């Protein structure tokens, strides 16, 4: 009950004023800004996953840094968190050997990637919009479904952009089921029919990683893209998608999740205590495994061995910016506030707290950036896509 009181206090605070979580601290140059592989923890054995009835009741947010004594322990801990999120929440993001299973080519400015698994091939394509200034290779911002951030932020800088059309993997029409298809009938399912119970977010994250595979395979001389400076952003359901994509691929240098709502950065344990928000019981179960609702609804949410502050923490040590809008109650931004504060402790622990921030403010439309949020967004773009070294003060 003490923790419930603390959660509710945080909710009340965040719905009154917009808040920015930004800690200025000396960056530790030994902590990488990005990696050249999708998953540095791929070699670790998967942890044992207890059945729901054998999971302990955890009223407080689980410790994201459990077992972490120094930075060398983080890759293992991150792999444990990833395994739990996949096993209990979204389903498996299957590993791919890019040298053997992925082929890529450019057709004009269009990146085309063919991925083969189990005798089936899925083709992804995306047009790259190149800047009119600067010199290649260019940083790249990928929009999940779309880029809702003001386009002038990229057009005024030598940054390339592209849109990840997630419907090429698992159609957004799965949400409305207008096309007559049901779970298990989409492009991803041809390659992995055994994963038909997956939620869309594991599959969408898989697809974005295959585009990055293609960029790496072709190289900057062909694509004109600097693969050390790739960002991903999206808003609302696509804000969740951007967060999952950035969390599950360590080649993404900057993740900007705009108004991701419940199931994104918001902690399930906190939204459980709220009404009229996207909680674990009220989210869309085309996006998550239906077994998550069956297993963790009601008070069983406290048996969930992870929470979404740990999804956010998976982005560490790379850059993460969360943007909220408390005018839209459904987004559960109070729960995102609690989650952001808990996740930020991971960056702080290793002296790079200025790589993660959040800004929650109302007074603007859904997916319409508030003018007061522009400085922090542009700062993260300049630092983590453009590679500028100026530190936030």
148, 171, 280, 332, 380 from 175: Cα distances, Å: 20, 8, 17, 20, 32
366 belongs to the catalytic site: yes
Which of these, 374, 320, 393, lies nearest to 154 by C-alpha position?
A: 374
E strands present in the chain: 19-21, 102-107, 110-117, 120-129, 138-144, 160-164, 225-235, 254-258, 319-324, 356-360
Q: Which residues pair with 357 in a beta bridge?
A: 321
For residue 267, the Cα-to-chain-centroid distance in whole angstroms is 14
Distance separating alpha carbons of residues 211 and 383, to the nearest angstrom? 23
CA atoms within 13 A on the CB side of 188: 31
Q: 202, 236, 279, 339: which one is catalytic?
A: 236
The residues, ordered by sequence, that sit 6+ positions from 97 with a Cβ below 8 Å of its Cβ are none
Residue with tokens 């080519």: 105
CA atoms within 13 A on the CB side of 193: 5
3-state SS of the chain: helix, strand, coil percent to 5?
Answer: 40, 15, 45
Distance separating alpha carbons of residues 312 and 132, to the nearest angstrom? 34
Distance separating alpha carbons of residues 125 and 133, to the nearest angstrom? 25
The residues, ordered by sequence, that sit 6+ positions from 4 with a Cβ below 8 Å of its Cβ are 59, 273
Torsion 326-340-24-392 (CA) sign: negative
Q: Which residues pair with 20 in a beta bridge?
A: 359
236 belongs to the catalytic site: yes
Q: 75, 125, 364, 366: which one is catalytic?
A: 366
The residues, ordered by sequence, that sit 6+ positions from 314 with a Cβ below 8 Å of its Cβ are 78, 81, 82, 85, 247, 248
CA angle, residues 286, 297, 262, in degrees to nearest 5: 55
51, 247, 279 from 232: Cα distances, Å: 34, 10, 25
Distance separating alpha carbons of residues 272 and 279, to the nearest angstrom? 6
Active site residues: 236, 366
């Amino acid at each position: 009950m003490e923790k419930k009181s603390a959660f509710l206090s945080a909710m009340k605070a965040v719905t009154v004023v917009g808040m920015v979580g930004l800690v200025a601290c000396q960056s530790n140059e030994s902590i990488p800004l990005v990696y050249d592989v999708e998953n540095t923890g791929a070699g670790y054995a998967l942890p044992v996953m207890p059945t729901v009835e054998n999971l302990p009741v955890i009223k407080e947010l689980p410790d994201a840094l459990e077992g972490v004594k120094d930075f060398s322990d983080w890759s293992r801990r991150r792999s444990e968190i990833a395994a739990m999120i996949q096993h209990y929440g979204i389903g498996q993001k299957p590993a791919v050997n890019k040298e053997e299973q992925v082929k890529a080519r450019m057709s004009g400015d269009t990146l085309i990637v063919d991925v083969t698994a189990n005798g089936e091939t899925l083709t992804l394509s995306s047009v790259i919009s190149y800047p009119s200034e600067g010199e290649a290779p260019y940083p790249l911002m990928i929009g999940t479904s779309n880029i809702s951030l003001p386009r002038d932020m990229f057009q005024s800088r030598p940054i390339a952009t592209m849109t990840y059309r997630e419907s090429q993997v698992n159609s957004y029409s799965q949400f409305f089921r207008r096309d007559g298809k049901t779970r298990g009938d989409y492009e991803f399912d041809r390659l992995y029919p055994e994963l038909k119970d997956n939620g869309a977010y594991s599959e969408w994250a898989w697809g974005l990683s295959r585009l990055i595979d293609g960029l790496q395979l072709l190289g900057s001389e062909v694509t004109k893209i600097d693969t050390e400076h790739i960002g991903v952003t999206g808003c609302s359901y696509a804000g969740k998608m951007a967060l999952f994509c950035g969390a599950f691929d360590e080649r993404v240098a900057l993740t900007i999740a705009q108004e991701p709502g419940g199931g994104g950065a918001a902690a399930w344990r906190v939204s459980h205590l709220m009404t009229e928000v996207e909680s674990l019981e009220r989210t869309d179960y085309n996006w998550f495994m239906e077994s998550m609702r069956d297993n963790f609804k009601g008070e069983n949410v406290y048996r969930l061995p992870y929470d979404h502050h740990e999804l956010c923490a998976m982005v560490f040590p790379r850059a993460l910016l969360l943007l909220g809008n408390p005018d839209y109650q459904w987004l559960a931004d109070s729960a995102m506030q609690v989650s952001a504060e808990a996740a930020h402790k991971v960056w702080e622990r290793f002296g790079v707290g200025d790589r993660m921030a959040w800004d929650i403010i109302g007074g603007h439309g859904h997916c319409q950036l508030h003018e007061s949020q522009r400085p922090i967004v542009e700062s993260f773009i300049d630092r983590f896509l453009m590679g500028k070294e100026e530190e936030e003060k």
